Structure 1
Amino acid sequence: MQPITRDANQPLNAQIINDGAGKQDAVDLGSGIFMSKDVSNLYLVTTPAGSVLINTGIIYSAAENKRRFDAVTDKPIRKIVFTQSHEDHIGGWPTFNTPDIETIGQANLPFVRTQYRDLGKAMGARSRRLWSRDQKQELTERPEPVLTTTFHDRHAFELGGRRFELYSVPGGETVDSLVVWLPEERIVFTGNMTGPIFGHVPNLYTVRGERYRYVQWYIDSVQRVIDLNPNVLVTGHGEPVRGAAEIRSRLTRMRDATQYLRDETFKGMNAGKSLWELMETIKLPAELAIPQGHGKVPWIVRAIWEEHLGWFRYESSTELYSVPTQSVLPDLIALAGGDATALDLAAKYFGDNAPLKALHIAEAIAPASPHYHRALEIQLYAQRLILDAAGRENFSEVRWLESEIRRLEAALAGDN
């Protein structure tokens, strides 16, 4: 697969999300398979007896996605398969579904959808904060697909002379993730099992808010795809990856990089090192260094720590109770000389190249303080420095910092 070119100041995910916007044709991938680009791509596998639709895209693109596929075949869709239960995979189901279509998903899909329904308001608000620049249309309705067939570990069927095998890969973005395998053609559809950008570190925790993805399940899921030995790998985003050797090499590196982070985190935990030390010191070695466009190594370390040891770090009894550190910071600042003195210290941290420490102090200044305007200026400057240092590689990190910068800019404008 050729590298994707992009604007250096634009996260790769932003371009991928908008790849399918507007009226365009389905893309012929060969072997009777067609791709419709969307927030997450959907695929039509054609046969003489009808088609299998892999994912249905997001709801607001459903009519356009259906138009694209209607233009490439007049054979009906016989089966719909979901590689996972996120909105950008299942949202178009009502547009494509008819009473005679079989809808297939992994058995955990209803369980995961219950979480999304029950937490829809909270998760939606967080997603909008991060992705308002990239997803121009808000989801105002969330239709729920009705599964006619579920399975736990594996399921197979034939249609029009093509064999389809489905395998559970719970280490993907959701515990209902599956891959679709065409054994005769040696083509595998992985959806977003390895994240939205293939070849990057996993996203074991997403900043928008989501349950942790278990690291061993991820490693095992990648191994399951390696064992298939595919010649073509089709993901939820971007172009297919072609060539058995290329696919095996990239999947192996992803597996080994994740195994290394898992082992190093375990080693550090067993040595009694703090979470913060491990987040700071664990790095991928050069031979395993892969991009961090959606996941990020320190976040992976934290996800592994909290998956296995939980949120109580044994650092302080205060972790067990509902009084946060921030509640006493204003009193400590007063004792240490007041807001002005504290902000002088924050400004000094900039000279020490420590913008995160400056941000900690500036965020402790109360809105009622006469020095609050300066505190906001220091927060804004710190966020800009942190963004510059981040290198704009990680989508969620960039979008979060940009949203904070816009918030602080608006607050300062209103304060003048």
Structure 2
Amino acid sequence: MSRFSRFSGLLLAASLPFGALAELPEERIEPSINAELAEHTKHFTQKLYKVADNVYSAVGWQLGNVAMIEAPEGLIIVDTGESVSESRKIMAEFRKISDKPVKAIVYTHFHPDHINGVKAFVSEEQVKRGEVQIYAQETLLDNVVTQGALVGPILGLRSAYTFGAALPASDNEGMNGGIGPLAKVEGSTFIAPTITFKDKLDTTIAGLPVQFLHAPSEAPDEIVLFLPNNRVLISAEVDQGPTLPNIHTLRGTKFRDPVLWVNSLDKLRAFQADHMVPLHGQPVSGKDKVEEVLRMTRDGIAYIHDQTVRWMNKGLTPDELVEKVKLPPHLAGYTPYLREYYGTVKHSVRQIYQGYLGWFQGDPVALDPIAPQEKAKRLIEMMGGHDKVLLAAGEAYLKGDYQWAAELASYAISLDNDDKLAREIKARSFRKLGYASMNINWRNWYLMSAMELEGKLDGDAALQMTKGIREAFLSPDMLKNLPVKVFLQNWVTRIDPEKSADVNLTLGFVFPDIGEEWALEVRRGVVQLHQGIPAGTSLKLTFDKIYLDTVISGENSLLKGALLGDVKVDGSLLDIKTFLGCFDFEDAPIALTVR
């Protein structure tokens, strides 16, 4: 008898006692990759592409490409990859072409895979001496220092699931990251920009004319470069490369406005470039081909947006919209640029609805719904009890109805997080769905969630994994650029209302080395940040920003500094201890799937 047959017998024989269902028969689900997704990996074969006379694009070393422009007086490096070690390999390839000094670095936007490898190309000392300039849009530094500060704990964990941070080698063999090879998050570095601009900048760098344009799209600070001498457009992620663009990212981000993105693509079309160098995927050459890729990408995003809004205006809700809005064949089949390797129509549609109308869909039943656990309890009772629900889940699994099997198992898990059989049914369902998925984001989420259900991502393991990912978003080099305001603003969302229920205290912070003064006022569960210290404030801490950097990095604490004399204290130490005790800075394990 096959394993499947034994499983079927256990699940469907109503006469068997439920104890027989305590464990599922052993089943080995072999790792696999969707055939088209596996073929897509070839797009990222390691290669240094030469574009026109003086532009080179390093594809296949990292998730993001690194481009080099050879100017008369030196080199311009556009984006620096996510890993110093891999970027050093790229620099070694560049050095086979030119021994000219690096004169400029360009950050096209703030995402880690475009900025974290900077020290493979230049040192802080070179930048401080003015030998190298770093160009970026004016909001990039703010975006860098805040992306991991406000929602760092949850963003770190969700990013780990998005990138499949804990997946074993067997699940990653032959895989790609949709927009590049698998990401390599190691050795994160950062050097702050030295030259920034708002909308556009026409300049000369190392003897070469360069036109910069702000083109908000995949990131709010996205910029592109146009080289008029040979009509090369470095398109950053306005053209996201060989995939349907990720109009929404599952790890979580602010609203990516499709209308702005379409407008930016039209601005790129206006350059009428002969060559285009995206910072994911291979370069595109020929004026007609560049126009085709940009136009089709633009039309794909526009279609998803416009049809979502069209049907929203007819009253459809997100669950209905995802069944209604589908790309027509000429767009859906435009390979590889509109294939769903990275973005998908379905999760884009949901973001567009949320961006315009928010979470409320119009049925007041959603205004004050029954709590999830209570809802699960009532539904399970209505369906005949726990055993029948899991029998139905198992039957759905055997029929290949994996989504329904996972949904049914979720009710049982909601009531009992330790329900071994429910977790196994859901985990197996997710593995089946994940291995079949052509989209790398969906695949990684399915497989990471399966690991969580299987108990392979316990609390400590998840915290350690998240810590590593968070460093990519907020590395020690980035921490040095964290303004005092951003650090203190983070306290506002860390207030514990129970511990501060009866507390009314204001603590001033004085930073003599940078000439700044701030204060945090606790008012019974609410915190207000003040620029400057309100009159009458008796509690003050005075210390240099340099010491604050060690507090941010975890090397020191304010109480430790006060006791050792590194922090000057005005007022009662007991009151300061009471004040500091009002906040919750503990990073607790987070369950995304088992809840």
The TM tier, using the shorter chain, reads: 0.7 to 0.9
Residue of structure 1 equivalent to 2:563? none
Question: 1:35-50, aligned counterparts within 5 Å?
Answer: 35-37=57-59, 38-39=61-62, 40-50=64-74
Going from structure 1 to structure 2, the CA distance change for 1:385 and 1:106 (only over 3 Å counts) comes to same
Quote the offset at 1:324 in angstroms. Answer: 4.3
Say which SS state the counterpart of residue 114 (structure 1) adopts.
helix
For the residues of structure 2 that align with 1:319 and 1:228, how far apart are their CA atoms?
49
Q: Which amino acid counterpart does residue 8 of structure 1 have in structure 2?
A: A
Question: 1:301-316, aligned counterparts within 5 Å?
Answer: 301-316=349-364
Say which SS state the counterpart of residue 157 (structure 1) adopts.
strand
Quote the offset at 1:311 in angstroms. Answer: 1.8
Quote the offset at 1:245 in angstroms. Answer: 0.9
Question: 1:375-394, aligned counterparts within 5 Å?
Answer: 375-387=422-434, 391-394=436-439
Residue of structure 2 equivalent to 1:32? 54
For the residues of structure 2 that align with 1:356 and 1:41, how far apart are their CA atoms?
36
Quote the offset at 1:9 in angstroms. Answer: 7.0
Residue of structure 1 equivalent to 2:575? none
Residue of structure 2 equivalent to 1:260? 303
Residue of structure 2 equivalent to 1:73? 98
Going from structure 1 to structure 2, the CA distance change for 1:295 and 1:326 (only over 3 Å counts) comes to farther
Say which SS state the counterpart of residue 213 (structure 1) adopts.
coil
Q: Does 1:178 align with 2:223?
A: yes
| More displaced stretch, 345-354 vs 69-78 | 345-354
Residue of structure 1 equivalent to 2:193? 147
Q: Does 1:88 align with 2:134?
A: no
- Contact map agreement 2:103 2:206 (CA 8 A) in 1: no
Residue of structure 2 equivalent to 1:414? none
Candidates 98, 113, 116, aligned match of 2:147: 116
Q: Does 1:398 align with 2:443?
A: yes
Quote the offset at 1:298 in angstroms. Answer: 0.8
Quote the offset at 1:220 in angstroms. Answer: 0.7
Quote the offset at 1:329 in angstroms. Answer: 0.5
For the residues of structure 1 that align with 2:188 and 2:425, how far apart are their CA atoms?
41
Quote the offset at 1:348 in angstroms. Answer: 4.7
For the residues of structure 1 that align with 2:153 and 2:89, how far apart are their CA atoms?
27
Candidates 265, 272, 278, aligned match of 1:235: 278
Q: Which amino acid counterpart does residue 129 of structure 1 have in structure 2?
A: Y
Say which SS state the counterpart of residue 104 (structure 1) adopts.
strand
Q: Could you say what the CA RMSD is over the residues aligned between the two structures, in angstroms?
A: 2.9
Question: 1:11-410, aligned counterparts within 5 Å?
Answer: 19=45, 26-37=48-59, 38-39=61-62, 40-60=64-84, 61-97=86-122, 98-99=126-127, 100-118=131-149, 119-131=151-163, 132=165, 133=167, 137-139=184-186, 142-159=188-205, 161-171=207-217, 173-195=218-240, 197-198=241-242, 200-289=243-332, 290-319=338-367, 324-350=371-397, 354-366=401-413, 372-387=419-434, 391-409=436-454
For the residues of structure 1 that align with 2:93 and 2:36, how far apart are their CA atoms?
32
Task: Please list the CA deviations of residues 376-415 of structure 1 after superposition, one character each: whole Å capped at 9, or x if unmatched.
Answer: 3421343244346xx532111112122233444557xxxx
For the residues of structure 2 that align with 1:7 and 1:50, how far apart are their CA atoms?
44
Task: Please list the CA deviations of residues 341-372 of structure 1 after superposition, one character each: whole Å capped at 9, or x if unmatched.
Answer: 11233345457764323211201114886993
Going from structure 1 to structure 2, the CA distance change for 1:370 and 1:57 (only over 3 Å counts) comes to closer
Q: Which amino acid counterpart does residue 401 of structure 1 have in structure 2?
A: Y
| More displaced stretch, 300-309 vs 286-295 | 286-295
For the residues of structure 2 that align with 1:78 and 1:138, how far apart are their CA atoms?
26
- Contact map agreement 2:72 2:208 (CA 8 A) in 1: no
Q: Which amino acid counterpart does residue 330 of structure 1 have in structure 2?
A: K
TM-score, length of structure 2 as denominator length = 0.61
Task: Please list the CA deviations of residues 249-305 of structure 1 after superposition, one character each: whole Å capped at 9, or x if unmatched.
Answer: 122112112212111111111111111100122111122223111110111111111
- Contact map agreement 1:57 1:91 (CA 8 A) in 2: yes
Going from structure 1 to structure 2, the CA distance change for 1:331 and 1:235 (only over 3 Å counts) comes to same
Say which SS state the counterpart of residue 249 (structure 1) adopts.
helix
The percentage of aligned residue pairs carrying the same residue is: 24
Task: Please list the CA deviations of residues 57-95 of structure 1 after superposition, one character each: whole Å capped at 9, or x if unmatched.
Answer: 223324333333233222211111111111111112234
Going from structure 1 to structure 2, the CA distance change for 1:62 and 1:338 (only over 3 Å counts) comes to same
Going from structure 1 to structure 2, the CA distance change for 1:29 and 1:287 (only over 3 Å counts) comes to closer
- Contact map agreement 1:32 1:45 (CA 8 A) in 2: yes
TM-score, length of structure 1 as denominator length = 0.85
- Contact map agreement 1:13 1:395 (CA 8 A) in 2: no
For the residues of structure 2 that align with 1:64 and 1:81, how far apart are their CA atoms?
19
Quote the offset at 1:201 in angstroms. Answer: 2.2
Aligned pair count reads: 394
Quote the offset at 1:50 in angstroms. Answer: 1.2
Structure 2's unaligned 5+ residue stretches are 1-32, 173-181, 333-337, 457-595
Q: Which amino acid counterpart does residue 35 of structure 2 have in structure 1?
A: A
